[in-house]
């Protein structure tokens, strides 16, 4: 494989990074994504970097329009994260960031399932160090839980590809569909990394536990690589429509009651992934364009929101809504960037979310999925409430906390301003994004119907938020740990574990006693028949021995005949 292929550029840089002085390492985090983007754009459509290994033809770079748009946005996200983390001198974080971004880009360029598996596990191993880099007991425990879930996804992918190869003789990463046990296991592997319902809590557990800059990096790659994998392998799989619809709805409640703003954004990430999964499930050219466009825009505005909250955490030491408020007075640039991110995720016209989300809504309507379309509208109102309003309001404009931190460092502000500019630019000039999409785009986002529908939705959602705040019905921001599906391993398993251990111990003790008794009785029986004067200790006559030999020979003859 060429050393100038996009993933290899990152991996070589990650290997070299640990040997460089701190200032050079920071510069490398800016230079490498630029070089990687040039490499991505240099490949013509087709299969490249083919390597034959023990009879398998591995394709390390499969370049088409679907892979290209994900590789482009991953490169942009890596560059922005590198600029945001310019102040970081932690070798662990810098090496992990390069390796993680390279593995994610390798995953979307993989042309076969074996190569995909290698990069799939690479993202898991590299990304966990962004959590462990916080170096707290909680982060270490969270990192272990995260790694277990990510490795489980890889194990399912490996088992699935082995079964799929056994059934078909192919390892090509093309459309798979739910047609066999192997493709079902691969589907579940993708679902774990895409944070399907009941498989999602690793996201809310891990992302807020990472470092300030690590969370920004984590938000960009793993889940969107899984969205790409679903779009590549399971486009048009109808169950994804309903899975995605549930994903858009269930985080709304948890995000509303959550006090940690980084966990609010993690729930919001679940919500936005649901839109993409719906687009994959519908499977038309319009919906797949919508999925790719929304993934592109989501990486930008979600990174911007995590950057804004991360800057607040960096300056104040907290991201709890109950401990913040009034920060616009001392952090005005961060506040404006946060508002732009909030407008983008809420799909306000002239912001990026509007021109991507409307593609998926239109696709759902065009294909007659009116119930799903209505669910997506409700989810759009919900995301306005918990991310579009709650994040900026409780951070910068709610009751003054009295904190007057300094504005974010210059490089952080630069990263946020560039990201905010991209969010606005895409919203104003949607053709700049549509030209990158995998299929030809014959779609106008700015029609009177689209604008009127979205503005009505946003206005009513704003009114609902104001009413809930004025009436005191909005959930208060309190210091608490909220659990949903993770109640299984946070409460139920710890509560059941002592009883389970005691039950296993009782069963083991009972089995041990039974086995000991059986052995003792068997020994006694052997002793009785073999002791002096017993049956086996007596002498046997020649006639008796011949009789036994005849019986055995007759048995052998009978067995051979029949």
Question: Is residue 326 domain-resident?
Answer: yes
Question: Is residue 373 domain-resident?
Answer: yes
State yes or no: pLDDT of 478 exceeds 70.
no
Q: What percent of the chain has pLDDT over 70?
A: 93
Segment 124-167, tens digit of pLDDT: 999 999 999 998 998 999 999 999 999 999 999 999 999 999 99
Question: Is residue 536 domain-resident?
Answer: no
Q: Are residues 204 and 326 in the same domain?
A: no
pLDDT band at residue 483 under the 50/70/90 scheme: low
The pLDDT of 442-467, averaged and rounded, is: 83
| Total domains in the fold of the chain | 3
Q: Are residues 112 and 66 in the same domain?
A: yes
Q: Are residues 385 and 498 in the same domain?
A: no
Q: Are residues 298 and 419 in the same domain?
A: yes
pLDDT value at residue 482: 66
Q: Are residues 435 and 471 in the same domain?
A: yes
Q: Of 481, 499, 532, at which residue does a domain stop?
A: 481
pLDDT value at residue 553: 86
**Cα–Cα distance measured from residue 220 to residue 225, given in angstroms and rounded to the nearest whole number:** 9
Rounded to 10 deg, the angle between the 91-109 and 65-84 helix axes is 170
The pLDDT of 387-408, averaged and rounded, is: 87
What is the residue-wise DSSP string for 379-448? HHHHHIIIIIIHHHIIIIISS-----PPPPPHHHHHHHHHHHHHHHHHHH-THHHHTTSSS-----S--H
Q: Are residues 427 and 514 in the same domain?
A: no
Token pair, residue 140, equals 């270490």
The pLDDT of 422-435, averaged and rounded, is: 95
Q: Are residues 303 and 424 in the same domain?
A: yes
172: helix, strand or coil:
strand
Average pLDDT, the chain: 89
| Beta carbons within 8 Å of 102's beta carbon, 6+ residues apart | 6, 7, 8, 9, 10, 11, 13, 14, 36, 122
Q: Are residues 287 and 227 in the same domain?
A: no
177: helix, strand or coil:
coil
Question: Is residue 215 domain-resident?
Answer: yes
Q: Are residues 511 and 475 in the same domain?
A: no
Question: Is residue 253 domain-resident?
Answer: no
pLDDT band at residue 416 under the 50/70/90 scheme: very high
Q: Are residues 477 and 512 in the same domain?
A: no
pLDDT value at residue 24: 87
Question: Is residue 516 domain-resident?
Answer: yes
pLDDT value at residue 537: 61
* Cα separations in angstroms, 149 against 102, 106, 128, 496, 555: 21, 21, 11, 21, 57
pLDDT value at residue 160: 96
Segment 13-44, tens digit of pLDDT: 999 988 888 888 989 999 999 999 999 999 99
Segment 277-298, tens digit of pLDDT: 999 999 999 999 999 999 999 9
Question: Is residue 438 domain-resident?
Answer: yes
| Beta carbons within 8 Å of 541's beta carbon, 6+ residues apart | none
Q: Are residues 335 and 415 in the same domain?
A: yes
Domain range for 64 is 1-150+199-231
Q: Of 425, 451, 481, at which residue does a domain stop?
A: 481
pLDDT value at residue 486: 66
Q: Are residues 509 and 385 in the same domain?
A: no
Question: Is residue 512 domain-resident?
Answer: yes
């Amino acid at each position: 494989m060429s050393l100038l292929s996009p993933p290899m550029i990152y991996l070589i840089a990650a290997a070299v990074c640990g040997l460089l002085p701190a200032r050079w390492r920071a510069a490398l985090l800016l230079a490498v994504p630029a070089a990687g983007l040039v490499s991505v754009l240099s490949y013509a459509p087709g299969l490249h970097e083919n390597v034959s290994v023990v009879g398998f033809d591995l394709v390390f770079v499969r370049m088409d329009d679907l892979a290209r748009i994900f590789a482009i946005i991953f490169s942009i996200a890596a560059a922005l994260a590198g600029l945001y983390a310019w102040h970081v001198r932690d070798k662990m974080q810098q090496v992990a960031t390069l390796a993680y971004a390279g593995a994610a880009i390798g995953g979307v360029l993989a042309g076969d399932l074996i190569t995909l598996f290698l990069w799939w596990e690479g993202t898991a191993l590299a990304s966990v160090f962004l959590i462990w880099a916080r170096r707290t007991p909680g982060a270490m425990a969270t990192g272990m839980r995260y790694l277990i879930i990510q490795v489980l996804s890889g194990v399912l992918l490996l088992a699935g590809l082995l079964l799929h190869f056994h059934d078909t003789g192919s390892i090509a990463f093309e459309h798979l569909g739910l047609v066999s046990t192997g493709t079902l296991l691969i589907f579940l592997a993708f679902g774990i990394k895409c944070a399907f319902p009941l498989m999602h809590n690793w996201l809310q557990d891990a992302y807020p536990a990472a470092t300030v800059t690590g969370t920004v990096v984590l938000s960009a790659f793993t889940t969107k690589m899984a969205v790409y994998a679903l779009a590549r392998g399971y486009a048009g799989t109808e169950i994804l429509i309903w899975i995605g619809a549930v994903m858009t709805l269930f985080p709304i409640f948890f995000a509303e009651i959550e006090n940690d703003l980084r966990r609010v954004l993690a729930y919001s990430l679940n919500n936005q992934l649901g839109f993409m999964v719906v687009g994959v499930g519908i499977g038309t050219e319009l919906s797949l364009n919508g999925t790719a466009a929304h993934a592109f825009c989501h990486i930008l505005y979600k990174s911007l929101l995590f950057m804004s909250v991360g800057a607040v955490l960096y300056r104040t030491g907290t991201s709890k809504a109950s401990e913040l408020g009034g920060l616009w007075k001392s952090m005005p640039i961060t506040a404006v960037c946060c508002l732009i991110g909030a407008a983008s995720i809420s799909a306000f016209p002239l912001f990026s979310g509007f021109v991507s989300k409307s593609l998926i809504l239109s696709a759902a309507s065009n294909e007659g999925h009116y119930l799903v379309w209505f669910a997506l509208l409700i989810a759009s109102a919900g995301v306005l409430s918990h991310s579009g309003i709650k994040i900026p309001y409780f951070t910068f404009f709610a009751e003054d906390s009295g904190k007057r931190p300094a504005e974010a460092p210059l490089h952080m502000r630069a990263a946020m301003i560039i990201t905010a500019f991209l969010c606005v630019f895409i919203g104003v000039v949607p053709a700049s994004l549509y030209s990158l999409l995998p299929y030809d785009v014959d779609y106008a986002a700015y029609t009177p119907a689209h604008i009127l529908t979205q503005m009505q939705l946003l206005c009513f959602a704003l009114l609902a938020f104001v009413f809930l705040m004025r009436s005191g019905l909005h959930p208060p921001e309190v210091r608490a740990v909220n659990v949903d599906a993770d109640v299984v391993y946070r409460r139920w398993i710890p509560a059941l574990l002592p009883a389970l251990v005691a039950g296993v111990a009782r069963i083991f003790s009972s089995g041990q006693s039974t086995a000991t008794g059986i052995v003792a009785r068997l020994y006694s029986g052997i002793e009785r028949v073999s002791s002096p004067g017993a049956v086996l200790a007596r002498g046997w006559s020649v006639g008796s021995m011949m009789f036994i030999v005849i019986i055995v020979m007759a048995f052998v003859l009978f067995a051979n005949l029949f």
